[in-house]
Amino acid sequence: MFKGMTLKEFNKAFKSDDDCRTYLFRLKWAAGYRCRKCGNTKSHKGKSKYHLRCTECLYGESATATTIFHKMKVPLLKAFGMIFRISVKKKGISTLELSREFAIDKKTAWLFKRKIQEVMSGGQQIQLNDPIDSTSFTFGGAELEWKSKFQGEESNAILMVEKTKRNKLGNARGRMATEADSIELIEKLKSNNKSAAANAASIKNPKTILEKIDFNIPDPSGKRGVQILVFNLKNWLRGIHHHCSGRFANGYLQEFIFRFNRRNNLKMILHQVIQAGIYHQPYFYKPFNPRLGNRPLEEKPLTVT
């Protein structure tokens, strides 16, 4: 298990593609082998030391098969290095920087970053303890002051964060807002802000409710912790990525929250991302393929339930 947050520690642990494959091999079958075809728990060596073959149906499987690294064109050492930069660096890294630093095509770097954001989206399910401060906000597209061709790509999101006893920020959760949230929003406003609820109910288009009204629960301390988090999120998007398409806004939101929730345990964050990637289904920039089970990019963003 890799525990480190410096480039020197990373280079010492992973010197070649074989080191990365060995790491994936140990993680994938850490709890023991189980055949995906017949459920058999016994295996023997496959065509290489990074493969296992079922003793019953003879189905062979590699350490990268059916994971986020499935049929990846980028060498594993570069892939691990990019995950390290994305997860450990405080502000992450943009697609353009990944492309330059690892000498790969910009489209390849973008797709790999999308894969890691998908992994982080699945690993963001953290239960929050009361009291919780929440807000709705709009980000992406024109919000980032881009020109007219990017206008209309704004996305509505909901962000929730714990408030600790010392009024500090705890863990956070976030998701993209839906029309159904407007109904719940009005109900919350009725008990906290009747005039705002009335204004929300008068809006004809439910989608605009989240844009017009903030449903913060009044904070007696006067310190808006969740607003600070929203401010940091938007500054991160402006400073690192410059533009956030509404189509993929959820990925950037989950990436930000994933790092924020693990800010006090950065030594384990690389291991956590790789481990989550082992159990994540393949993700390709291709139409939906039922045999592989990959999701198309046109699918609606993941949401936190």
Q: Which of 273, 262, 299, 252 is nearest to 69 (CA)?
A: 273
Q: Is 0.85 surpassed by the pTM of this model?
A: no
Show pLDDT as tens, one digit a residue, over the chain (305 residues). 888 878 899 999 999 999 999 999 999 998 889 888 888 889 888 888 889 999 989 989 999 988 899 888 899 999 999 999 999 988 889 999 999 999 999 989 998 999 999 898 875 567 777 777 777 777 765 444 444 343 445 677 888 888 877 777 888 888 887 666 655 655 555 555 555 445 544 544 444 444 444 444 444 444 467 888 888 888 888 888 877 777 788 888 889 999 998 888 888 899 999 998 898 888 776 544 445 454 443 333 333 32
Neighbours of 302 (CB within 10 A): 17
- Partners of 162 in beta bridges: 132
Q: Can you read off the two tokens belonging to residue 220?
A: 């007696």
Long-range CB contact pairs, 254-258, < 8 A, 24+? 254/117, 254/120, 254/121, 254/124, 254/174, 254/302, 255/86, 255/92, 255/116, 255/117, 255/120, 256/92, 257/124, 257/172, 257/173, 257/174, 258/87, 258/120, 258/121, 258/123, 258/124
